[in-house]
Structure 1
Amino acid sequence: MFIDFEKMPINSRIWIYQADRKLTANESNKASYFIKSEIEGWGAHGTPLSASFKIEYDRFVVIALDENVAQASGCSIDASTHWLKQLGEEYGINFFDRSLAYFENKEIKTVSVFQLKKAVEEGVLKSDTIVFNNTATKYTDLINKWKVRADSFAYTSKFFKAIAV
């Protein structure tokens, strides 16, 4: 069952999928229609799931699940990843991009997780650069811990500490 995202409980479980490029307006509209229709029929072992989604910055798909109604099963989680794989194949987008996304001059850029140390050392990522914590698992984390400073993010903070020494 689809619920408006803003009406989801603050403790809802979330999954964040990062696209490897910005979606066009047309792609975003078609993806929204597709995901909403999939959520309408989403279930776990025959139990309808109460869920929602939103597309942020034309780059991130956030799926939310009200676990107070019913919890996801392994099969239902797999089903949701298949939605993103299907969209990705249709539009030539990788929704499973594991690079670190960050803001630079009001644009979203990415850096390979294997290049984080170098990005810090070369000043591409500064201590106050806002990065996206796509490991957030609760709606409250999306609000409070999704966009964080690079020097406080688990995957980059150690490189700032090494420079300070």
Structure 2
Amino acid sequence: MLIDCDLLSNEAKVWVYPSSRKFYPQEIEGIKKELEDFTTEWKLEDENFKASYKLIYNRFIVFYAAEDVELKNEDIDKQVAFILGLQEKYSVELLDKMNVCFKQGEFVQYKDLKDFKKMLKQKSVSPKTIVFDNLIQTKGELESHWEVPITESWYNRFL
């Protein structure tokens, strides 16, 4: 069942998919409709299943699932297949884990990890630069540890 993500506990499971580019304004409504349709149909057979989604900064797709539901491999496979379909349809990368999303002023940037390391060496980004930890696993972590300075993230090993 699709519910408002605010109604889920901080222990709710989350999956974050960063886009290699910001979605264009003309794409947003279509993407939101597709996200809503997928989330509504995701585990329709399980009447106790509660899930939600968010599109953050017009760049990050976040799925939520209540912590008390059992998710099987095929449920995650459905999610990944859906994301693969979005990648193809919108010509974006959503599954590449070897990238870094970070803020430069008010803008969210997306760089390959190798390029980000070079930026650190060249001091194009500082230890205070805000990065997105897309490996977080719960709603609580999303709210408190998703956007953090490099020094408070796993990227700090590159400093």
Same-fold call, TM > 0.5?
yes
Map of 1:40 onto structure 2? 40
1:1-165 mapped onto 2 (5 Å cutoff): 1-43=1-43, 46-48=45-47, 49-68=49-68, 70-98=69-97, 99-154=99-154, 156-160=155-159
Q: Distance in 2 between matches of 1:63 and 1:15?
A: 5
Contact 1:5 1:52 in 2 (8 A): yes
Identity of aligned residues (%): 22
TM superposition score normalised by structure 2: 0.92
Q: Distance in 1 between matches of 2:7 and 2:25?
A: 24
Higher mean displacement: 145-154 or 91-100:
91-100
TM superposition score normalised by structure 1: 0.89
By relative contact order (CA 8 Å, sep 6+), the higher-ranking structure is: 2
Count of residues paired in the alignment: 157
Offset from partner CA, 1:53-110 (integer Å, 9 cap, x none): 0000010000000022x22111011101111111221111221233101000211112
Q: Distance in 2 between matches of 1:64 and 1:83?
A: 15
Unaligned stretches of 5+ in structure 1?
161-165
Q: 1:41: Cα distance to partner?
A: 1.6
| Letter aligned with residue 10 of structure 2 | I
Unaligned stretches of 5+ in structure 2?
none
Higher mean displacement: 114-123 or 58-67:
114-123
| Letter aligned with residue 7 of structure 2 | K
| Letter aligned with residue 27 of structure 1 | E
Q: Distance in 2 between matches of 1:159 and 1:94?
A: 24
Contact 2:21 2:110 in 1 (8 A): no
| Letter aligned with residue 107 of structure 1 | F
